[in-house]
Amino acid sequence: MTVPHLALNDGHSIPQLGFGVFLVDPDETEGIVSDALAAGYRHIDTAAIYRNETGVGRAIAASGIPRDELFITTKLWIDHQAGSLPLTAIDESLEKLGLEQVDLYLSHWPAPERGTFVNAWERMVEIRDAGKARSIGVSNHLPEHLTALIDVTGVVPAVNQIELHPAYQQRDVVEYSARHDIRIEAWGPLGQGKYPLFEEAPVTAAAAAHGKTPAQVVIRWHLQNGTIVFPKSNRPARMQENFDVFDFALTDAEMAAITALERGQRVSGHPLEVN
């Protein structure tokens, strides 16, 4: 099964479906990522703050999959945004991952009270230019943060990874990003189990109509919206189920009904408050 690739604004491309390792126990990461790779995933999303980059790297090394078939993302934590710290942080991440380059490096949060997110972006441009990250982007950045980065450096992030699921769609961020050709990645794409998304009538109706699970329907909703998505599971059967979403399509009416579930229901931290 071939996962669609989306073009980025820097001339590279990214697999639209990947596998995330947020909250995956570092001691279990190698096995879980190995299972994901065996299920067909080639896009792995980790972060320095997850403390499981080493396990991701071990799974990559053990897989025997050619490097050019993999897409690996990691992220710069807010404690390392100031001064030249981003330059040290990428080297530490690359060592743990066992790689010479990541495919995408993201600034994890703007942490506006620290006043260092623009500096972080300037250093990330240097990291890209040094060949240590093929593409660079951000996570959890609002339009005001994105504008500041672009105004200072002239470099537009390739990606903005944000909380996005049917009950919280951040349309202002999505629309701003579309105007600037910034791809949106969804974290928490299934709502992190913090509200009964899989019991919502539009989701259950579409699942019944297509012979799919509610999770597959929501992942498909993301894909048809052009969002990059990486659901997380520690169970191989669920990993495979989440990957099996390319043999059906939601109708326009089904898409609209799920989109209408928007209610401003954030399930995690706000970018202005994570500092």
- Strand, coil or helix: what is 247? coil
* DSSP, res 193: G
Catalytic residue among 50, 105, 168, 176: 50
114/63 Cα distance (integer angstroms): 40
CB atoms within 10 A of CB 270: 10
| 206 Cβ contact partners less than 8 Å away, ≥ 6 residues apart | 212, 217, 250, 254, 257, 258
Question: CA-based angle 41:92:38, to the nearest 5?
Answer: 15
Burial of 72 (0-12, 13-18, 19+ CB in 10 A): buried
Instruction: Determine whether 50 is an active site residue.
Output: yes
Active-site residue list: 50
